[in-house]
Amino acid sequence: MKKKFLSLALAAAMAASLTACGGSGDAQATTQATEAPAADAAGTETTAANATEAPAAADGATWKIGAIGPLTGGAAIYGNAVVNGAQIAVDEINAAGGINGFQIEYMSADDEHDAEKAVNAYNSLKDKGMQLLVGTTTSNPCIAVADKTAADNMFQLTPSGSAVECAANPNVFRVCFSDPDQGAASAKYIGEHKLATKIAVIYDSSDVYSSGIYAKFAAEAANQGLEIVAEEAFTADTNKDFTTQLQKAKDAGAELVFLPFYYTEAALVLTQANTMGWDPIFFGCDGMDGILGVKNFDTSLAEGLMLLTPFAADAEDELTVNFVTTYKENYGDIPNQFAADSYDAVYALKAALEDANANPDMSVSDICEAVKASMVKISVDGLTGAGMTWNAEGEPSKAPKAVKIENGAYVSME
């Protein structure tokens, strides 16, 4: 199986702010071609010169798109956000006429953030006729499922599987940044904005997401003139008490603590740092998104926390405002980055399927080959980036940004 190389498209993007598209309530897509595209009724543009002729589909045929993620358990805030964000996109697209005139039939399955259960979820959705997969949500389950989609040659677009291995197979693309890209971008942001010079890192050495971000962060920190004064690890078996790591970071004179792991452990870190009477700058990555929703967590302790993210619900562009409004109406909550990633993922599939002139009666393998060829042509103006493009390795190119928690809400930073 051909393996991919990591995209370095993020290199100079960290200082830029996300610019979402205006003039429409839906994500917009165009193909990368010299010939002028023709827009369809849904506002998605395809280029006839690059489209291929597909056999006519039977009456009543639908696109069967599946989603896999943790809908229950400790990481459920991610999986439910992915399913909800995609559902909003599906509803919009179906109301506007579907994809190439065919409606989307959307289905989801729970993996409980477990690799074996994710494979079972994949097999269940495949038995129901799934043709394309938006998932999985978290990295370890995504890696396990990616081997299955590769064997079936089913196209897989993960909204948030950020480990390098998630997109190693040629049938898998992603919407989020890879772990190394997040690590490098975080170090660049801290350095370029002069947030601190003495840095402590606490990371989960048993988790590919956390350790992958940390490794690249450490390498880029040296280029930014940042001194890592403490490097403290924990594992899934020791993720409840962080007082030793925090004390070492404090004793080393750290001004900023980088936390490249998920919000559940981060809430404990902030709580225990407060108990110690220590208040450095805390900086996280996309896994930190969700900390304000942790049960029994004193959210005032997150005041001033920064995190790297391509999406901020407080943005005032039309696309974001409409999405946040719909999400609140449908689910009674403010959408996080994972919801935005999956919304953009569905629109990326729409753009690629329309560029390929594909239809639901094509085989799963033929759909995969058609979408792979079109993904490197399209450009999507979505919630998580304007002019998003993808390379042949499945890596996205878009500009990230950081947000800061102020008064219990995420606020965009310049």
Give pLDDT tens digits for 263-290: 999 999 999 999 999 999 999 998 898 8
Cα 192 from Cα 225, distance rounded (Å): 10
Residue 45 confidence (pLDDT)? 37
Is residue 366 very low, low, confident or very high in pLDDT (cuts 50, 70, 90)? very high
Please tell me what DSSP assigns to residue 60.
T
pLDDT at 25 over 80: no
Mean pLDDT of 59-65: 90
Mean pLDDT of 155-184: 93
Neighbour count for residue 299 (Cβ, 10 Å): 17
pLDDT at 42 over 50: no
Write phi, then psi, for 11 (nearest 5 degrees): -50, -45
When mean pLDDT is compared across 23-32, 53-62, 287-296, 353-362, the lowest value belongs to 23-32
Residue 19 confidence (pLDDT)? 29
- Put simply, whether the predicted model's pTM sits higher than 0.85 gets the answer no
When mean pLDDT is compared across 37-41, 233-237, 403-407, the lowest value belongs to 37-41
pLDDT at 47 over 80: no
pLDDT at 232 over 90: yes
Residue 314 confidence (pLDDT)? 81
pLDDT at 347 over 70: yes
Residue by residue, DSSP assigns 96-139 as TT-BTTB-EEEEEEE-TT-HHHHHHHHHHHHHTT--EEE--SSH
pLDDT at 145 over 90: yes
CA-nearest of 45, 3, 115 to 380 is 45
When mean pLDDT is compared across 148-157, 279-288, 321-330, 404-413, the lowest value belongs to 404-413
Q: Work out whether strand 409-412 and strand 401-406 pair parallel, antiparallel, or are unpaired.
A: antiparallel
Residue 9 confidence (pLDDT)? 36
